[in-house]
């Protein structure tokens, strides 16, 4: 009993430590000085799971280097600032639009966007959304095909690095928008439902200059509509 209880406690502690994040300062002497670093969120599927729409090499580099680079940068940049130890969304919203916080915002925004992007996709995704979301889409765009057309056109038209989004506005109406570089829809009072990364690194090894082919394939075959419906709330 004693041994068993102790083992559970110990396992629980190890799991918390492995999760790596919010509580690591408690009972973890190595982190006592500063707050725990922000985590590089694991991929919700294997690197090859999105192939052939997005190749395993693209996912490996995109998640393992680009996404990780932003996490490593931010963990260095926050040290000694008021943002040290704050959750990611607080850093994003606290630095947005502030010229003197640009480096913090760019890295925090890109971590947030990439976390959201990986969850916006799933193997065997795409197709038609579940009933509640489908109704909202029909209300806002007339029908699913019209939504699909507008979402693709908006996303493809982002000039330079950025993101395409399906969002809900303050009144709950769905819209498609685009944001540049690390910008997020929340700063415009919009609630993101799903996103598509159109930085060239997201598709260049697989599609080169053919951004439209990447965007259309992703909408048709990878969008995670359950994630979108969950975000609708």
Say which entry of other proteins, Fe ion, none residue 161 contacts (CB below 5 to 8 A, set by partner kind): other proteins
Instruction: Tell me the closest approach of the beta carbon of residue 70 to other proteins, in angstroms.
Output: 11
Q: Give the nearer residue to other proteins in terms of CB position, either 16 or 161.
A: 161
Nearer residue to other proteins within complex by CB, 141 or 203: 203
For residues 140 and 182, which CB has a smaller minimum distance to Fe ion in the complex? 182
CB nearer other proteins, residue 199 or residue 227: 199
What is the separation of C-alpha 226 from the centre of its chain, rounded to a whole number of angstroms? 15
Residue 177 binds which entry of other proteins, Fe ion, none, with Cβ cut-offs from 5 to 8 Å by kind? none
Nearer to other proteins, 9 or 208 (CB): 208
197's contact among other proteins, Fe ion, none, with CB below 5 to 8 A by partner kind, is: Fe ion
Select the binding partner of residue 205 from other proteins, Fe ion, none (C-beta < 5 to 8 A, by kind).
Answer: other proteins
Asked if 118 is part of the footprint of Fe ion (rule: CB under 5 A), the reply reads no
The minimum distance between CB 51 and other proteins, in angstroms, equals: 18
Q: Which of 161, 167, 173, 105 is nearest to 136 (CA)?
A: 173
Residue listed under structure tokens 């057309």: 149
218 binds, among other proteins, Fe ion, none (CB under 5 to 8 A by kind): none
Applying CB under 8 A, which residues contact other proteins? 61, 65-66, 69, 102, 106, 159-162, 180-182, 199-201, 204-205, 208-209
CB of 76 to other proteins, least distance (A): 15
SS3 per-residue string spanning the chain:
CHHHHHHHHHHHHHHHHHHCCCCCCCCCHHHCCCCCCCCCCCCCCCCCCCCCCCCHHHHHHHHHHHHHHHHHHHHHHCCCCCCCCCCHHHHHHHHCCCHHHHHHHHHHHHHHHHHHHHHHECCCCCCCCCHHHHHHHHHHHCCHHHHHHHHHHHHHCCCCCEEEEEEECCCCCEEEEEEECCCCHHHHCCEEEEEEECCHHHCHHHHCCCHHHHHHHHHHHCECHHHHHHHHC
Q: Name the binder of 162 from other proteins, Fe ion, none, CB < 5-8 A by kind.
A: other proteins
199 binds Fe ion (CB under 5 A): yes
Among 197, 223, 228, 231, binds Fe ion (CB under 5 A): 197
* Angle between helix 131-141 and helix 225-232 axes, rounded to 10 deg: 80
Tokens at 214, concatenated: 């990447």
Binding site for Fe ion (CB under 5 A): 197, 199, 202
């Amino acid at each position: 009993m004693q041994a068993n209880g102790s083992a559970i406690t110990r396992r629980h502690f190890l799991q918390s430590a492995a999760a790596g994040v919010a509580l690591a300062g408690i009972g973890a002497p190595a982190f006592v000085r500063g707050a725990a670093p922000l985590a590089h969120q694991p991929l919700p599927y294997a690197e090859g799971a999105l192939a052939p729409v997005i190749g395993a090499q693209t996912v490996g580099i995109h998640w393992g280097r680009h996404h990780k680079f932003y996490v490593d940068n931010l963990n260095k940049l926050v040290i000694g600032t008021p943002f040290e130890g704050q959750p990611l969304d607080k850093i994003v919203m606290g630095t947005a639009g502030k010229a003197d916080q640009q480096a913090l915002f760019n890295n925090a925004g890109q971590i947030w966007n990439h976390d959201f992007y990986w969850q916006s996709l799933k193997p065997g995704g795409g197709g038609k959304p579940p009933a509640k979301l489908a109704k909202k889409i029909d209300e806002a765009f007339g029908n699913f095909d019209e939504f699909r057309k507008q979402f693709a056109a908006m996303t493809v038209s982002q000039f330079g690095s950025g993101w395409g989004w399906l969002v809900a506005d303050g009144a709950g109406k769905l819209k498609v928008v685009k944001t540049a570089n690390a910008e997020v829809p929340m700063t415009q009072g919009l609630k993101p439902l799903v996103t598509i990364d159109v930085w060239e690194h997201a598709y260049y090894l697989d599609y080169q200059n053919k951004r439209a082919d990447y965007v259309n394939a992703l909408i048709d075959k990878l969008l995670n509509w359950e994630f979108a419906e969950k975000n609708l709330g």
